[in-house]
């Protein structure tokens, strides 16, 4: 079993916030600034880098039993669905609206946990989620150029996130999975997702077409065009994007190991606020008064959500 390196708690939380923020900004730049709309390729690159590095860490694939294969394959398939819908949502929606709607993943998780585990959150958490929902709706209605397809993709991503997290929790509780730690689960998920994503990439993005002059179109032409037009800047963006998933996985483990899942969640909310603010700066977002009110309410609801979780955890530790 690989030991997660020890770091000061404040450093792990800050590192997780920065890597998560950088990953979102770089992926958005690849899609929007470089106009490279190939999310399956981005996902495949991220999976390949994560699997290769973790293979070196383990010295090969960790041992597993046949009874673990089907649960791990289910988790890998849901992981692909979650990340891929997130990349497509990031491509289609503006960054501030992506951030505000992604906060509603808490609502989706609450609903799935209630259905699967019969768990219900406190009234304070429910009020916070209700305020985030209201803020998101107002922000969408008040946007200058609303992109309802982008909003739909973010909500689909929220459902995929909830489905993946609940399935991961369910699979982790199985008796056959008791010996699989979180780092090994991350490795298996990425390794099993590689061939599935490679097949999806070949089917949807790789297969080129040809016009009358036999000039290749599609992914190969788009890649060649970006390399010719942007050169090193595009290569660096692709490399950082490919490494971002590994960085987020590792810093999430460091942050949770040094602090708690709650601290990781609060750091994630901080990242969302910074993400929204930077979206205004880098992508020249234009908002109306109603849109601004909605974004503000969603941010307040996010802070209320983190505070409700924090106070409940503090009471349970007394």
Quote the pLDDT of residue 210. 46
> Per-residue pLDDT tens for 24-47?
888 888 888 888 889 999 999 999
Q: Is residue 91 part of a domain?
A: yes
Quote the pLDDT of residue 261. 53
**Those residues with Cβ within 8 angstroms of residue 114's Cβ, 6 or more apart along the chain or in another chain:** 120
Q: Is residue 29 part of a domain?
A: yes
Q: Nearest CA to 76 among 157, 154, 192? A: 192
What is the mean pLDDT of the segment spanning 144-170?
85
Q: Is residue 212 part of a domain?
A: no
Percent of all residues in the chain with a pLDDT value above 70, rounded to a whole number: 80
Q: Is residue 174 part of a domain?
A: yes
> Per-residue pLDDT tens for 57-115?
777 666 666 677 888 899 899 999 999 999 999 888 888 778 878 877 878 888 888 88
Do 316 and 133 form a contact (C-beta atoms < 8 A)? Answer: no
> Per-residue pLDDT tens for 178-193?
777 777 888 888 899 9
Q: Is residue 63 part of a domain?
A: yes
User: How many domains does the chain divide into?
Assistant: 1
Q: Positive or negative, the Cα torsion across 258, 264, 267, 272? A: positive
Q: Range with the lowest mean pLDDT among 125-139, 171-185, 187-201, 242-256?
A: 171-185
What is the C-alpha to C-alpha distance for residues 89 and 71, in angstroms, rounded to an integer? 27
Range of the domain at 140: 9-202+217-311
What is the C-alpha to C-alpha distance for residues 75 and 163, in angstroms, rounded to an integer? 10
How distant, in Å, are the alpha carbons of 99, 112, 294 from that of 140? Answer: 12, 24, 8
Do 30 and 238 form a contact (C-beta atoms < 8 A)? Answer: yes
Q: Is residue 2 part of a domain?
A: no
What is the mean pLDDT of the segment spanning 124-151?
80
Q: Is residue 207 part of a domain?
A: no
> Per-residue pLDDT tens for 190-243?
899 999 999 999 988 887 554 444 445 678 888 888 888 888 888 888 888 888
Q: Nearest CA to 307 among 276, 265, 277, 257? A: 265
Q: Is residue 211 part of a domain?
A: no
Quote the pLDDT of residue 47. 93
What is the mean pLDDT of the segment spanning 5-31?
81
Quote the pLDDT of residue 212. 45
Residue 220, CA atoms < 13 Å, CB-side half-sphere: 9
Q: Nearest CA to 75 among 198, 204, 164? A: 164
pLDDT at 171 over 70: yes
pLDDT at 14 over 80: yes
34 DSSP 8-state letter: S
Q: To the nearest whole number, what is the mean pLDDT of the chain?
A: 80
């Amino acid at each position: 079993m690989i030991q997660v390196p020890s770091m000061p708690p404040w450093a792990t939380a800050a590192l997780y916030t920065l890597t998560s923020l950088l990953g979102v900004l770089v992926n958005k730049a690849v899609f929007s600034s470089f106009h490279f709309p190939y999310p399956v390729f981005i996902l495949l690159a991220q999976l390949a880098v994560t699997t290769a590095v973790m293979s070196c860490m383990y010295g090969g694939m960790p041992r597993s039993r046949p009874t673990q294969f089907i649960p791990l394959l289910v988790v890998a398939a849901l992981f692909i669905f979650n990340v891929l819908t997130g990349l497509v949502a990031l491509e289609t929606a503006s960054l501030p609206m992506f951030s505000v709607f992604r906060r509603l993943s808490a609502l989706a998780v609450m609903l799935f946990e209630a259905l699967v585990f019969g768990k219900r959150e406190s009234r304070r958490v429910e009020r916070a989620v209700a305020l985030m929902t209201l803020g998101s709706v107002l922000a969408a209605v008040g946007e200058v150029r609303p992109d309802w397809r982008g909003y739909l993709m973010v909500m689909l991503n929220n459902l995929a996130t909830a489905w993946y997290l609940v399935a991961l929790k369910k699979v982790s509780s199985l008796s056959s999975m008791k010996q699989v730690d979180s780092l090994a689960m991350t490795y298996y998920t990425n390794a099993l997702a590689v061939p599935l994503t490679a097949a999806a990439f070949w089917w949807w993005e790789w297969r080129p077409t040809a016009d009358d002059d036999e000039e290749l179109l599609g992914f190969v032409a788009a890649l060649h065009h970006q390399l010719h037009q942007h050169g090193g800047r595009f290569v660096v963006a692709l490399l950082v994007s490919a490494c971002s998933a590994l960085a987020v996985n590792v810093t999430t483990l460091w942050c949770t190991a040094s602090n708690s899942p709650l601290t990781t969640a609060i750091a994630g909310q901080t990242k969302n606020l910074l993400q929204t603010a930077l979206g205004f700066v880098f992508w020249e977002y234009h908002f109306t008064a109603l849109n601004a009110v909605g974004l503000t309410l969603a941010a307040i609801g996010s802070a209320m959500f983190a505070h409700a979780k924090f106070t409940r955890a503090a009471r349970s530790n007394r």
